[in-house]
């Protein structure tokens, strides 16, 4: 559907076309603006600017709605599996039984890394952040598949996408093992996606690994909840790098780097670091709730509110319901988690939080659950990247399929006007 918008610029009125999305959202197409008026739209951070139309994910921030390819996140979280959600995001539909069986077999075939690539993990210090390792190794994958990198070749793209979905858990687990000085555990192709990841992270070569199926299911659900989130910072990064026709491995490596930022995927790690600060200072939650309300305190509560959701983040609602079950099942009595529970209670009752819609977000709960599962804090954002991978790939494929131009925004220059060069002797 389409419509019209009228804009007056310095006394000049122009009519712009609009596009109306399948959920009634309206986008004003500003492409003619500069040619007709010499003015451009200016929206730092693109917070009110659409970069594309997309069929992948729908978010209604005002009503706390999140859907992948039209399916509600709470249905997918309870009825689907992460690998099925990968298929859904990448192919646009839920697979038939035979399609899923074939997809799963293909993914399983690609879980190993080239033996020479393992040496790359030795190049990093033990305390290297795993996001640095993962983004480096993902980009390095392109050097092992140099004949299958053409972003305009559907077969190359399909194979690269399967290689990434299959190998990122191996890369993540290898980075974790190297950081612990432990022997690498190879993929076990008998296990499902999340179970294989857990075994590669927590098994030892000297012992039989007993996989807790409930924990595996929980990790699988966490991956589903993180699988895509429309045009977030890292997805936009992947799209823009891909718009230069950089290969998929390079584009995903850039997305991992964007997600690493504490304002984005690093927020779940910042939540636990915040809880530790409160714990180290006597676990006085009321003190820190008061500090959070004092702009001059310099203290900011991490894990609350969201730039898009002006209601409860539906992913947080699902995780919030899971947290108690997990902590009870694992018989966890962790002081940080007790602090988190008190903060949650404040957020759901204090007018300061409720009036500002500062509900706990997905990062608040995911950090708590990862900690309860024994996943170290610096691996939290890696877990986010593992979940977001299919979304990144789907967004990358879509911008190529739509034939979008290279991402190259304009600016409004506010610097010095023309001035002559002055020789150093005269300055």
- Closer by beta carbon to ligand MLT, 151 or else 391: 391
38 near ligand MLT, rule: CB under 6 A: no
57 near ligand MLT, rule: CB under 6 A: no
Q: For residue 373, what are the contacts with CB-CB under 8 A and spacing of at least 6?
A: 215, 218, 219, 326, 330
Among 180, 245, 300, 307, interactor with ligand MLT by CB under 6 A: 307
- Closer by beta carbon to ligand MLT, 45 or else 181: 45
Radius of gyration of the chain (CA): 23
317 near ligand MLT, rule: CB under 6 A: no
Q: Which of 185, 216, 210 lies closest to 111, judged by CA?
A: 185
- What minimum distance in Å lies between the beta carbon of 322 and ligand MLT? 17
- Closer by beta carbon to ligand MLT, 67 or else 229: 229
Cα distance between residue 85 and residue 90, in whole Å: 8
Among 57, 232, 251, 270, interactor with ligand MLT by CB under 6 A: 232
Cα distance between residue 53 and residue 160, in whole Å: 24
Q: Is 306 annotated in the active site?
A: yes
- Closer by beta carbon to ligand MLT, 192 or else 313: 313
Which H helix or E strand runs over 345? helix 335-349
Q: Is 296 annotated in the active site?
A: no
263 near ligand MLT, rule: CB under 6 A: no
Among 229, 317, 371, 397, interactor with ligand MLT by CB under 6 A: 229
- For 181-281, where are the alpha helices, taking DSSP H only? 193-202, 213-225, 233-243, 248-260, 267-280
Cα distance between residue 49 and residue 42, in whole Å: 9
Instruction: Yes or no: say if 33 and 39 are a contact pair by the CB < 8 Å rule.
Output: yes
Q: Which 3 state secondary structure label does DSSP give 159?
A: helix
Among 112, 291, 308, 400, interactor with ligand MLT by CB under 6 A: 308
- What minimum distance in Å lies between the beta carbon of 305 and ligand MLT? 11
Q: Which 3 state secondary structure label does DSSP give 161?
A: helix
Q: Which of 226, 229, 306, 346 is catalytic?
A: 306
268 near ligand MLT, rule: CB under 6 A: no
- What minimum distance in Å lies between the beta carbon of 109 and ligand MLT? 30
- What minimum distance in Å lies between the beta carbon of 199 and ligand MLT? 27
Kindly state the number of chain residues that form the binding site for ligand MLT, as judged by CB under 6 A.
Answer: 5
- What minimum distance in Å lies between the beta carbon of 159 and ligand MLT? 27
Q: Which of 255, 184, 190 lies closest to 226, judged by CA?
A: 255
269 near ligand MLT, rule: CB under 6 A: no
Backbone torsions φ then ψ of 183, nearest 5 degrees: -65, 140
Beta bridge partners of 4: 17
User: Which residues lie near ligand MLT (CB under 6 A)?
Assistant: 229, 232, 264, 307-308
* Catalytic machinery residues: 306, 363
């Amino acid at each position: 559907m389409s419509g019209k918008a009228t804009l007056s610029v310095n006394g000049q009125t122009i009519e712009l076309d609009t596009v109306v999305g399948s959920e009634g959202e309206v986008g004003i197409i500003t492409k003619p603006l500069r040619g007709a008026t010499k003015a451009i739209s200016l929206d730092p951070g693109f917070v009110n600017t659409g970069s594309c139309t997309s069929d992948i994910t729908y978010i209604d921030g005002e009503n706390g709605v999140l859907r992948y390819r039209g399916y509600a996140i709470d249905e997918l979280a309870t009825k689907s599996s992460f690998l099925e959600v990968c298929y859904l995001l990448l192919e646009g539909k839920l697979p038939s039984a035979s399609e899923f069986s074939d997809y799963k077999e293909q993914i399983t075939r690609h879980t190993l890394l080239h033996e020479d690539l393992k040496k790359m993990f030795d190049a990093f210090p033990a305390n290297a952040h795993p996001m640095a390792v993962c983004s480096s190794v993902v980009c390095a994958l392109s050097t092992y598949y140099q004949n299958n990198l053409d972003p305009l070749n559907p077969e190359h793209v399909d194979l690269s996408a399967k290689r990434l979905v299959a190998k990122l858990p191996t890369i993540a687990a290898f980075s974790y093992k190297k950081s612990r000085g432990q022997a690498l555990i190879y993929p076990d192709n008998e296990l499902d996606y999340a179970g294989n990841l857990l075994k590669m992270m927590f098994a030892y070569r000297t012992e039989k690994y007993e996989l807790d199926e409930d924990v595996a299911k929980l990790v699988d659900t966490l991956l589903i909840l993180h699988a895509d989130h429309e045009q977030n910072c890292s997805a936009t990064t992947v799209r823009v790098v891909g718009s230069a026709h950089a290969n998929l491995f390079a584009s995903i490596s850039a997305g991992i780097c964007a997600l690493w930022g504490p304002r984005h995927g690093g927020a779940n790690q910042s939540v636990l670091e915040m809880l530790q600060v409160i714990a180290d200072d006597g676990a006085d939650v009321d003190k820190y709730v008061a500090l959070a309300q004092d702009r001059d305190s310099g203290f900011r509560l991490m894990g609350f509110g969201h730039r898009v959701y002006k209601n409860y983040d539906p992913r947080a609602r699902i995780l919030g319901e899971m947290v108690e079950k997990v902590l009870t099942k694992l018989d966890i009595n962790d002081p940080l988690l007790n602090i988190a529970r008190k903060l949650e209670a404040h957020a759901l009752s204090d007018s300061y939080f409720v009036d500002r819609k500062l509900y706990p977000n997905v990062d608040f709960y995911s950090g708590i659950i990862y900690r309860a599962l024994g996943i170290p804090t610096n691996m939290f954002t890696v877990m986010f990247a593992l979940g977001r991978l299919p979304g990144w790939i789907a967004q990358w494929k879509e911008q190529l399929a739509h034939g979008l131009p290279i991402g190259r925004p304009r600016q409004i220059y506010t610097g010095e006007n023309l001035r002559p060069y002055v020789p150093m002797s005269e300055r």
